[in-house]
Structure 1
Protein backbone atom coordinates (compact mmCIF):
# COMPACT_ATOMS: atom_id res chain seq x y z
CA UNK A 1 0.00 0.00 0.00
CA UNK A 2 1.22 3.48 -0.87
CA UNK A 3 -0.08 6.61 0.89
CA UNK A 4 0.41 10.09 -0.59
CA UNK A 5 -0.53 13.48 0.86
CA UNK A 6 -1.69 16.16 -1.59
CA UNK A 7 -2.35 18.97 0.90
CA UNK A 8 -5.15 19.91 3.32
CA UNK A 9 -7.31 16.81 4.01
CA UNK A 10 -6.54 15.25 0.61
CA UNK A 11 -4.69 11.93 0.81
CA UNK A 12 -4.56 9.00 -1.57
CA UNK A 13 -4.22 5.27 -0.93
CA UNK A 14 -3.03 2.99 -3.72
CA UNK A 15 -3.08 -0.80 -3.51
CA UNK A 16 -1.93 -3.49 -5.91
CA UNK A 17 -2.67 -7.20 -5.77
CA UNK A 18 -0.15 -9.51 -7.41
CA UNK A 19 -0.79 -9.74 -11.15
CA UNK A 20 -3.46 -7.02 -11.10
CA UNK A 21 -3.57 -3.33 -11.90
CA UNK A 22 -3.29 -0.92 -8.99
CA UNK A 23 -6.49 0.47 -7.46
CA UNK A 24 -6.78 3.73 -5.59
CA UNK A 25 -8.96 5.71 -3.22
CA UNK A 26 -8.68 9.45 -2.62
CA UNK A 27 -10.01 11.55 0.26
CA UNK A 28 -11.32 15.06 -0.37
CA UNK A 29 -9.76 15.62 -3.83
CA UNK A 30 -8.87 19.22 -4.58
CA UNK A 31 -9.52 21.33 -7.68
CA UNK A 32 -8.48 20.22 -11.14
CA UNK A 33 -5.31 22.34 -11.07
CA UNK A 34 -3.93 20.50 -8.04
CA UNK A 35 -1.44 17.63 -7.94
CA UNK A 36 -4.19 15.30 -6.71
CA UNK A 37 -6.13 15.59 -9.98
CA UNK A 38 -4.17 12.87 -11.80
CA UNK A 39 -4.89 10.40 -9.01
CA UNK A 40 -8.54 11.45 -8.86
CA UNK A 41 -8.85 10.72 -12.59
CA UNK A 42 -7.86 7.08 -12.09
CA UNK A 43 -9.34 6.52 -8.61
CA UNK A 44 -11.93 3.80 -8.11
CA UNK A 45 -13.32 5.54 -5.01
CA UNK A 46 -13.47 9.13 -3.75
CA UNK A 47 -14.54 10.36 -0.33
CA UNK A 48 -16.13 13.79 -0.68
CA UNK A 49 -18.47 16.19 1.16
CA UNK A 50 -22.09 16.09 0.01
CA UNK A 51 -21.79 19.45 -1.77
CA UNK A 52 -18.91 18.30 -4.02
CA UNK A 53 -19.62 16.62 -7.36
CA UNK A 54 -17.13 13.81 -8.12
CA UNK A 55 -15.94 12.79 -11.59
CA UNK A 56 -18.30 10.64 -13.62
CA UNK A 57 -17.74 6.90 -13.34
CA UNK A 58 -16.12 7.00 -9.91
CA UNK A 59 -17.78 5.63 -6.78
CA UNK A 60 -18.34 8.45 -4.28
CA UNK A 61 -18.70 8.11 -0.52
CA UNK A 62 -20.50 11.17 0.86
CA UNK A 63 -21.34 10.07 4.39
CA UNK A 64 -21.79 7.19 6.84
CA UNK A 65 -22.26 3.65 5.54
CA UNK A 66 -20.49 0.39 4.70
CA UNK A 67 -18.96 -0.23 1.29
CA UNK A 68 -16.96 -3.00 -0.43
CA UNK A 69 -15.25 -2.08 -3.69
CA UNK A 70 -11.98 -2.45 -5.62
CA UNK A 71 -10.19 -4.31 -2.84
CA UNK A 72 -11.23 -1.79 -0.17
CA UNK A 73 -13.61 -2.58 2.70
CA UNK A 74 -14.86 0.77 3.96
CA UNK A 75 -16.84 1.70 7.05
CA UNK A 76 -17.75 5.38 7.34
CA UNK A 77 -18.54 5.61 11.05
CA UNK A 78 -21.14 8.27 11.99
CA UNK A 79 -19.31 10.89 14.06
CA UNK A 80 -19.85 14.60 14.69
CA UNK A 81 -16.36 15.53 13.54
CA UNK A 82 -16.78 17.97 10.67
CA UNK A 83 -19.64 20.05 9.33
CA UNK A 84 -18.85 19.07 5.75
CA UNK A 85 -18.53 15.30 6.30
CA UNK A 86 -20.08 13.66 9.34
CA UNK A 87 -18.04 10.48 9.56
CA UNK A 88 -14.74 8.90 10.44
CA UNK A 89 -13.64 6.58 7.63
CA UNK A 90 -12.11 3.19 8.45
CA UNK A 91 -10.63 1.23 5.56
CA UNK A 92 -9.50 -2.38 5.55
CA UNK A 93 -7.02 -3.00 2.75
CA UNK A 94 -4.08 -5.42 2.43
CA UNK A 95 -5.00 -6.82 5.87
CA UNK A 96 -4.43 -3.42 7.50
CA UNK A 97 -6.91 -1.00 9.08
CA UNK A 98 -6.55 2.66 8.12
CA UNK A 99 -8.45 5.50 9.82
CA UNK A 100 -8.97 8.92 8.21
CA UNK A 101 -10.78 11.90 9.71
CA UNK A 102 -11.74 15.02 7.71
CA UNK A 103 -10.87 17.31 10.64
CA UNK A 104 -9.73 17.08 14.23
CA UNK A 105 -12.82 16.56 16.44
CA UNK A 106 -13.88 19.52 18.58
CA UNK A 107 -14.84 17.13 21.38
CA UNK A 108 -13.55 13.76 22.59
CA UNK A 109 -14.86 10.78 20.64
CA UNK A 110 -17.50 8.77 22.47
CA UNK A 111 -17.02 5.21 23.70
CA UNK A 112 -19.39 4.05 20.95
CA UNK A 113 -17.38 5.86 18.27
CA UNK A 114 -14.18 4.24 19.54
CA UNK A 115 -15.91 0.84 19.60
CA UNK A 116 -17.11 1.35 16.01
CA UNK A 117 -13.64 2.42 14.88
CA UNK A 118 -11.98 -0.56 16.55
CA UNK A 119 -8.32 -1.47 16.17
CA UNK A 120 -6.31 0.79 13.85
CA UNK A 121 -2.93 0.15 12.22
CA UNK A 122 -2.50 3.47 10.39
CA UNK A 123 -4.06 6.77 11.52
CA UNK A 124 -4.31 9.60 8.98
CA UNK A 125 -4.56 12.32 11.63
CA UNK A 126 -5.84 15.86 10.91
CA UNK A 127 -4.31 18.65 12.99
CA UNK A 128 -6.92 21.31 12.13
CA UNK A 129 -10.47 21.64 13.46
CA UNK A 130 -13.43 22.81 11.37
CA UNK A 131 -15.66 25.42 13.02
CA UNK A 132 -18.40 27.27 11.17
CA UNK A 133 -16.86 26.36 7.82
CA UNK A 134 -13.39 27.60 8.77
CA UNK A 135 -10.31 25.65 9.80
CA UNK A 136 -8.41 26.51 12.96
CA UNK A 137 -5.33 25.08 14.66
CA UNK A 138 -5.92 24.03 18.28
CA UNK A 139 -2.95 23.33 20.50
CA UNK A 140 -0.96 20.28 19.45
CA UNK A 141 -1.78 18.42 22.67
CA UNK A 142 -5.35 17.90 21.38
CA UNK A 143 -4.12 15.91 18.36
CA UNK A 144 -1.54 13.98 20.40
CA UNK A 145 -4.24 13.04 22.93
CA UNK A 146 -6.49 11.68 20.16
CA UNK A 147 -3.59 9.75 18.61
CA UNK A 148 -2.80 8.16 21.97
CA UNK A 149 -6.46 7.23 22.47
CA UNK A 150 -6.69 5.56 19.04
CA UNK A 151 -3.42 3.65 19.67
CA UNK A 152 -2.33 3.15 16.04
CA UNK A 153 0.94 1.53 15.01
CA UNK A 154 1.61 4.32 12.50
CA UNK A 155 0.39 7.92 12.38
CA UNK A 156 0.54 10.22 9.36
CA UNK A 157 -0.43 13.76 10.43
CA UNK A 158 -1.64 16.41 8.00
CA UNK A 159 -2.24 20.14 8.46
CA UNK A 160 -2.95 23.31 6.54
CA UNK A 161 0.07 25.16 7.94
CA UNK A 162 3.66 24.01 8.37
CA UNK A 163 3.83 25.54 11.87
CA UNK A 164 0.92 23.35 12.99
CA UNK A 165 2.82 20.31 11.75
CA UNK A 166 6.02 21.38 13.54
CA UNK A 167 4.11 21.96 16.79
CA UNK A 168 2.60 18.47 16.59
CA UNK A 169 5.96 16.77 16.10
CA UNK A 170 7.41 18.73 19.02
CA UNK A 171 4.48 17.81 21.29
CA UNK A 172 4.76 14.17 20.23
CA UNK A 173 8.48 14.19 21.07
CA UNK A 174 9.64 13.50 17.51
CA UNK A 175 12.87 15.19 16.45
CA UNK A 176 14.44 15.33 12.99
CA UNK A 177 11.69 13.27 11.35
CA UNK A 178 12.54 12.20 7.82
CA UNK A 179 10.22 13.85 5.28
CA UNK A 180 8.89 11.55 2.56
CA UNK A 181 7.13 12.19 -0.76
CA UNK A 182 5.00 9.08 -0.24
CA UNK A 183 4.89 6.21 2.20
CA UNK A 184 4.87 2.50 1.30
CA UNK A 185 3.91 -0.11 3.88
CA UNK A 186 3.12 -3.83 4.05
CA UNK A 187 1.42 -5.66 6.89
CA UNK A 188 4.59 -7.52 7.87
CA UNK A 189 6.48 -4.23 8.20
CA UNK A 190 4.14 -2.57 10.71
CA UNK A 191 6.16 -1.44 13.75
CA UNK A 192 5.68 -2.84 17.24
CA UNK A 193 5.70 0.66 18.76
CA UNK A 194 4.11 3.87 17.49
CA UNK A 195 5.89 5.46 14.54
CA UNK A 196 5.00 8.91 13.16
CA UNK A 197 5.56 9.55 9.45
CA UNK A 198 6.16 13.05 8.02
CA UNK A 199 4.81 13.34 4.47
CA UNK A 200 5.34 16.45 2.37
CA UNK A 201 3.06 17.89 -0.30
Structure 2
Protein backbone atom coordinates (compact mmCIF):
# COMPACT_ATOMS: atom_id res chain seq x y z
CA UNK A 1 0.00 0.00 0.00
CA UNK A 2 1.19 3.49 -0.91
CA UNK A 3 -0.33 6.65 0.60
CA UNK A 4 0.28 10.22 -0.59
CA UNK A 5 -1.29 13.49 0.60
CA UNK A 6 -2.68 16.27 -1.60
CA UNK A 7 -3.73 18.53 1.28
CA UNK A 8 -6.57 18.96 3.81
CA UNK A 9 -8.16 15.48 4.02
CA UNK A 10 -7.42 14.48 0.42
CA UNK A 11 -5.21 11.41 -0.01
CA UNK A 12 -4.42 8.89 -2.71
CA UNK A 13 -4.24 5.33 -1.43
CA UNK A 14 -2.95 2.75 -3.91
CA UNK A 15 -2.85 -1.01 -3.58
CA UNK A 16 -1.85 -3.10 -6.58
CA UNK A 17 -4.04 -1.97 -9.48
CA UNK A 18 -6.63 -0.33 -7.23
CA UNK A 19 -6.61 3.39 -6.34
CA UNK A 20 -8.79 5.24 -3.85
CA UNK A 21 -8.96 9.02 -3.37
CA UNK A 22 -10.44 10.75 -0.33
CA UNK A 23 -12.11 14.18 -0.19
CA UNK A 24 -10.99 15.73 -3.52
CA UNK A 25 -10.99 19.52 -3.01
CA UNK A 26 -11.72 22.40 -5.38
CA UNK A 27 -9.55 25.43 -6.17
CA UNK A 28 -11.73 27.43 -3.77
CA UNK A 29 -9.60 26.16 -0.87
CA UNK A 30 -6.49 27.88 -2.26
CA UNK A 31 -4.68 24.84 -3.66
CA UNK A 32 -4.47 23.32 -7.13
CA UNK A 33 -7.00 20.46 -7.13
CA UNK A 34 -5.59 16.96 -7.54
CA UNK A 35 -6.34 15.37 -10.90
CA UNK A 36 -5.89 11.63 -10.69
CA UNK A 37 -7.33 8.52 -12.28
CA UNK A 38 -8.98 6.64 -9.45
CA UNK A 39 -11.23 3.62 -9.12
CA UNK A 40 -13.02 4.78 -5.98
CA UNK A 41 -13.51 8.07 -4.15
CA UNK A 42 -14.91 8.63 -0.67
CA UNK A 43 -16.36 12.02 0.25
CA UNK A 44 -16.99 13.09 3.83
CA UNK A 45 -19.05 16.20 3.09
CA UNK A 46 -21.14 16.41 -0.08
CA UNK A 47 -22.07 20.07 0.41
CA UNK A 48 -18.59 21.52 0.93
CA UNK A 49 -16.17 22.18 -1.99
CA UNK A 50 -13.26 21.36 0.31
CA UNK A 51 -14.29 17.71 0.13
CA UNK A 52 -16.40 17.21 -2.99
CA UNK A 53 -14.70 18.19 -6.28
CA UNK A 54 -15.83 15.30 -8.45
CA UNK A 55 -14.51 16.95 -11.62
CA UNK A 56 -10.96 16.17 -10.50
CA UNK A 57 -11.53 12.43 -10.34
CA UNK A 58 -10.61 11.68 -13.94
CA UNK A 59 -13.72 10.20 -15.52
CA UNK A 60 -17.18 8.74 -15.08
CA UNK A 61 -15.80 5.30 -14.22
CA UNK A 62 -14.90 6.38 -10.68
CA UNK A 63 -17.23 4.87 -8.08
CA UNK A 64 -18.09 7.64 -5.60
CA UNK A 65 -19.14 6.95 -2.02
CA UNK A 66 -20.57 10.04 -0.34
CA UNK A 67 -22.71 8.99 2.59
CA UNK A 68 -23.67 6.39 5.19
CA UNK A 69 -24.15 2.78 4.14
CA UNK A 70 -22.17 -0.32 3.21
CA UNK A 71 -20.35 -0.65 -0.10
CA UNK A 72 -18.39 -3.49 -1.71
CA UNK A 73 -16.57 -2.28 -4.83
CA UNK A 74 -13.86 -4.19 -6.68
CA UNK A 75 -13.12 -6.21 -3.56
CA UNK A 76 -12.82 -3.13 -1.36
CA UNK A 77 -15.32 -2.99 1.52
CA UNK A 78 -16.40 0.39 2.93
CA UNK A 79 -18.83 1.46 5.60
CA UNK A 80 -20.03 5.08 5.80
CA UNK A 81 -20.91 6.21 9.32
CA UNK A 82 -22.84 9.41 10.25
CA UNK A 83 -20.83 11.96 12.24
CA UNK A 84 -21.04 15.55 13.50
CA UNK A 85 -19.33 18.44 11.73
CA UNK A 86 -19.04 22.17 12.30
CA UNK A 87 -22.37 23.41 13.69
CA UNK A 88 -21.57 27.01 12.70
CA UNK A 89 -21.31 26.19 8.99
CA UNK A 90 -24.37 25.69 6.82
CA UNK A 91 -22.38 23.39 4.53
CA UNK A 92 -21.00 21.15 7.26
CA UNK A 93 -23.36 19.57 9.75
CA UNK A 94 -24.49 16.27 11.20
CA UNK A 95 -26.48 15.27 8.12
CA UNK A 96 -23.61 15.94 5.73
CA UNK A 97 -20.56 14.54 7.51
CA UNK A 98 -19.58 10.91 7.05
CA UNK A 99 -16.63 8.98 8.44
CA UNK A 100 -15.53 5.70 6.89
CA UNK A 101 -14.29 2.25 7.73
CA UNK A 102 -12.36 0.89 4.73
CA UNK A 103 -10.76 -2.51 4.23
CA UNK A 104 -8.07 -2.47 1.54
CA UNK A 105 -5.33 -5.04 0.98
CA UNK A 106 -6.43 -6.65 4.26
CA UNK A 107 -5.53 -3.38 5.98
CA UNK A 108 -8.27 -1.66 8.00
CA UNK A 109 -8.48 2.09 7.49
CA UNK A 110 -10.42 4.58 9.60
CA UNK A 111 -11.02 7.84 7.73
CA UNK A 112 -12.53 10.59 9.91
CA UNK A 113 -12.85 13.15 7.11
CA UNK A 114 -14.20 16.51 8.33
CA UNK A 115 -15.41 15.30 11.72
CA UNK A 116 -15.77 17.81 14.54
CA UNK A 117 -16.50 15.92 17.74
CA UNK A 118 -14.95 15.87 21.21
CA UNK A 119 -14.91 12.09 21.05
CA UNK A 120 -16.38 9.19 19.12
CA UNK A 121 -19.64 7.64 20.27
CA UNK A 122 -19.93 3.97 21.22
CA UNK A 123 -21.92 3.37 18.04
CA UNK A 124 -19.26 5.00 15.85
CA UNK A 125 -16.50 3.00 17.53
CA UNK A 126 -18.43 -0.22 16.97
CA UNK A 127 -18.98 0.58 13.29
CA UNK A 128 -15.34 1.54 12.76
CA UNK A 129 -14.13 -1.66 14.41
CA UNK A 130 -10.42 -2.37 14.63
CA UNK A 131 -8.33 0.20 12.79
CA UNK A 132 -4.81 -0.26 11.45
CA UNK A 133 -4.39 3.21 9.92
CA UNK A 134 -6.35 6.20 11.25
CA UNK A 135 -6.73 9.45 9.28
CA UNK A 136 -7.80 12.12 11.78
CA UNK A 137 -8.27 15.92 11.47
CA UNK A 138 -6.17 17.85 13.99
CA UNK A 139 -6.30 21.53 12.95
CA UNK A 140 -9.35 22.72 14.87
CA UNK A 141 -11.68 25.54 13.79
CA UNK A 142 -13.95 23.76 11.26
CA UNK A 143 -12.78 20.27 12.27
CA UNK A 144 -11.64 18.50 15.44
CA UNK A 145 -8.86 20.13 17.45
CA UNK A 146 -5.54 18.58 18.42
CA UNK A 147 -6.88 17.74 21.88
CA UNK A 148 -10.03 16.16 20.45
CA UNK A 149 -7.98 14.23 17.90
CA UNK A 150 -5.81 12.75 20.65
CA UNK A 151 -8.94 11.65 22.49
CA UNK A 152 -10.19 9.83 19.38
CA UNK A 153 -6.77 8.27 18.75
CA UNK A 154 -6.78 6.91 22.30
CA UNK A 155 -10.30 5.56 21.81
CA UNK A 156 -9.37 3.70 18.63
CA UNK A 157 -5.75 2.70 19.39
CA UNK A 158 -4.64 2.24 15.77
CA UNK A 159 -1.23 1.04 14.64
CA UNK A 160 -0.60 4.18 12.58
CA UNK A 161 -2.02 7.71 12.87
CA UNK A 162 -1.97 10.08 9.87
CA UNK A 163 -3.00 13.63 10.86
CA UNK A 164 -5.02 15.72 8.41
CA UNK A 165 -6.32 19.29 8.21
CA UNK A 166 -3.36 21.05 9.81
CA UNK A 167 -1.94 24.39 8.63
CA UNK A 168 -0.74 24.30 5.05
CA UNK A 169 0.70 27.14 2.96
CA UNK A 170 -1.85 28.46 0.49
CA UNK A 171 -4.95 27.02 2.15
CA UNK A 172 -7.61 29.64 2.85
CA UNK A 173 -9.23 27.66 5.65
CA UNK A 174 -7.94 28.45 9.12
CA UNK A 175 -6.10 25.58 10.82
CA UNK A 176 -3.62 25.10 13.65
CA UNK A 177 -0.09 23.93 12.86
CA UNK A 178 0.91 20.27 13.07
CA UNK A 179 3.17 21.07 16.02
CA UNK A 180 0.10 21.59 18.21
CA UNK A 181 -1.02 18.01 17.61
CA UNK A 182 2.47 16.54 17.96
CA UNK A 183 2.91 18.31 21.30
CA UNK A 184 -0.53 17.18 22.50
CA UNK A 185 0.13 13.54 21.63
CA UNK A 186 3.77 13.62 22.77
CA UNK A 187 5.46 12.72 19.50
CA UNK A 188 7.95 14.03 16.98
CA UNK A 189 7.61 13.27 13.28
CA UNK A 190 9.37 14.71 10.24
CA UNK A 191 7.22 14.95 7.09
CA UNK A 192 7.73 12.20 4.51
CA UNK A 193 6.80 12.27 0.82
CA UNK A 194 4.74 9.08 0.95
CA UNK A 195 4.02 6.11 3.15
CA UNK A 196 4.68 2.64 1.77
CA UNK A 197 3.82 -0.35 3.93
CA UNK A 198 2.70 -3.96 4.05
CA UNK A 199 0.20 -5.61 6.36
CA UNK A 200 3.00 -7.61 7.99
CA UNK A 201 4.71 -4.40 9.11
CA UNK A 202 1.77 -3.17 11.18
CA UNK A 203 2.11 -5.55 14.12
CA UNK A 204 5.25 -3.82 15.39
CA UNK A 205 3.65 -0.36 15.34
CA UNK A 206 1.47 1.22 18.03
CA UNK A 207 0.01 4.73 17.64
CA UNK A 208 2.91 5.62 15.34
CA UNK A 209 2.47 9.15 13.99
CA UNK A 210 3.13 9.60 10.26
CA UNK A 211 3.14 13.17 8.94
CA UNK A 212 2.99 13.33 5.15
CA UNK A 213 4.28 16.23 3.05
CA UNK A 214 1.65 17.76 0.80
CA UNK A 215 1.99 17.10 -2.92
CA UNK A 216 0.38 20.50 -3.59
> Shorter chain as normaliser: what TM range?
0.7 to 0.9
Normalised by the size of structure 1, how large is the TM-score?
0.83
Q: Do the aligned residues in 1 keep the contact of 2:131 with 2:158 (CA within 8 Å)? A: yes
Q: Distance in 1 between matches of 2:163 and 2:20?
A: 18
Is the counterpart of residue 50 in structure 1 residue 46 in structure 2? yes
Q: Counterparts of 1:137 and 1:193 in 2: how far apart (Å)? A: 22
Show structure 2 runs of 5+ residues with no match.
87-91, 169-175
Deviations 1:121-166 (A, max 9, x none): 0001111356xxxx2673x222111111111010000124155211
- Give the aligned CA root-mean-square deviation in angstroms: 2.2
- Show the 5 A alignment for 1:3-82: 3-16=3-16, 22-31=17-26, 34=32, 36-37=34-35, 39=36, 42-48=37-43, 49-51=45-47, 52=52, 54-55=54-55, 56-81=60-85
Q: Which has the higher strand share?
A: 1
State the Cα distance separating 1:99 from its structure 2 match. Answer: 0.6
Matched, 1:142 2:148: yes
- Partners of 2:182 and 2:112 lie apart in 1 by 19
Count, aligned residues = 187
Which residue number in structure 1 is paired with residue 104 of structure 2?
A: 93
Judging changes above 3 Å, is the alpha-carbon distance between structure 1 residues 178 and 71 closer, same or farther for their aligned structure 2 residues?
farther
SS of residue matched to 2:135: strand
**In 1, distance between residues paired with 2:205 and 2:41?**
31
TM-score by length of 2: 0.78
Aligned residues of 1:103 and 1:129 also touching (Cα < 8 A): no
Unaligned runs of 5+ in 1: 17-21
Determine helix, strand or coil for the equivalent of 2:125.
Answer: helix
